[in-house]
Amino acid sequence: MDDSLSVAGPSPRTLSGTLVGTWQLESRIDCTASGERRSEPSLGADPIALLYYDSSGHFAAQFMKRQRDASVVNATASGSNNTRAVGGYDAYFGTYSVDDASGTVTQTLVGALSHENVGHVVTREMRVTGDTLTIELETTSSDGEPVTRTLIWKRIG
């Protein structure tokens, strides 16, 4: 066997081959099954956010309510399949794995702003098209109503 041959990395056409990078949030929209938009009060309808995926299987995410002032709503609990913001801010980091066949990314939260989210494991449907990352997940609004959250990210690094 020729030891000079190396194993190729992920294909640039797969999710695992396109996910690595730094992403800036463009939009975060929650919709009911009937298509009505809902605003999540702890981060607002238009939060500022960054998301990082590195090539060794680590990630980090930070979200902040755009107008963060004394009137920021603290969520008493997170929506299902989601983390909880504190004072208009949410942050977590950990490890991730990609299932290219299903187009999903599973994240294990090693650290989080909200202590109850440490150790949380979430799986998200994701797709990268050019420099756009789209993440979709099923969660609930602040009043418990089921919603689909769609996050659109732009690659900035």
**Tally of CB atoms within 10 A around 42:** 22
Reply yes or no on whether the pLDDT at 83 is more than 60: yes
Task: Give the per-residue pLDDT at 29.
Answer: 93
* φ and ψ at residue 16, rounded to 5 degrees: -65, -25
Query: For the residues 95-119, what does the mean pLDDT come to?
Result: 95
Task: Give the per-residue pLDDT at 1.
Answer: 39
* φ and ψ at residue 23, rounded to 5 degrees: -125, 140
Are 74 and 65 spatial neighbours (Cβ–Cβ below 8 Å)? no
Q: Which amino acid is at 124?
A: R
Task: Give the per-residue pLDDT at 39.
Answer: 83
Percent of the chain exceeding pLDDT 70 equals 85
Task: Give the per-residue pLDDT at 74.
Answer: 59
Domain boundaries, the chain: 15-155
- Check whether domain 15-155 has CATH 2.40.128.280, yes or no: yes
Residue 105 or 13, more confident: 105
Give CA–CA dist 63/105, Å, rounded.
19
Return the half-sphere exposure (C-beta side, CA atoms, 13 A cut-off) of residue 2: 4
Give me the DSSP letters along 72-103: PPPPSSPPTTS---BTTEEEEEEEEEEETTTT
Residue 149 pLDDT class (50, 70, 90 cuts): very high
DSSP 44: -
What pLDDT, in 10s, does the model give residues 16-60? 999 999 999 999 999 999 999 988 888 888 899 999 999 999 999
Give me the DSSP letters along 99-157: ETTTTEEEEEEEEESSGGGTT-EEEEEEEEETTEEEEEEEEE-TTS-EEEEEEEEEE--
DSSP 55: T
Residue 10 pLDDT class (50, 70, 90 cuts): low
